[in-house]
Amino acid sequence: MMIDSCWEGKTMETRIGTVMHYYPKLSVAAVILQDHLTKGEKIHIHGAHEDFHQTVTSMEYEHTPIAEASEGLDIGIKVIQKVHEGDIVFREM
């Protein structure tokens, strides 16, 4: 598990992944996880061009829907706005 964490306002956040690619037609971010992630969790995606919060509503691993994913997996997450390679994904605590 990553120890990289920060305070965003009053919300504690832990870094859980990095965006590797964005599929604009699907609004899906390919993310390599550095910690586990569960459908329904709130995340914060931060980068040079975007900074937004959302709830994870859809995740896939190898084109199969999943409810949770473990560290090290390369997963697809449905996102509410465009992201870029290198953007950081945080879990809101």
Mean pLDDT across the stretch 34-42? 98
Buried b (16+ CB within 10 A) or exposed e, 36-68: ebeeeeebbbbbeeeeeeeebeebbeeeeebee
User: How many domains does the chain divide into?
Assistant: 1
The answer as to whether 2 is a domain residue is: no
The answer as to whether 72 is a domain residue is: yes
For 65, how many CA atoms within 13 A lie in the half-sphere containing its CB? Answer: 5
Mean pLDDT across the stretch 38-47? 98
What pLDDT sits at residue 3? 44
The answer as to whether 49 is a domain residue is: yes
Grade residue 89 by pLDDT with cuts at 50, 70 and 90.
very high
The answer as to whether 3 is a domain residue is: no
The answer as to whether 7 is a domain residue is: no
Mean pLDDT across the stretch 35-39? 98
Q: What is this structure's pTM? A: 0.88
Mean pLDDT across the stretch 46-50? 95
Which domain CATH number covers 87?
2.40.30.10
Q: Which domain holds residue 81?
A: 12-92
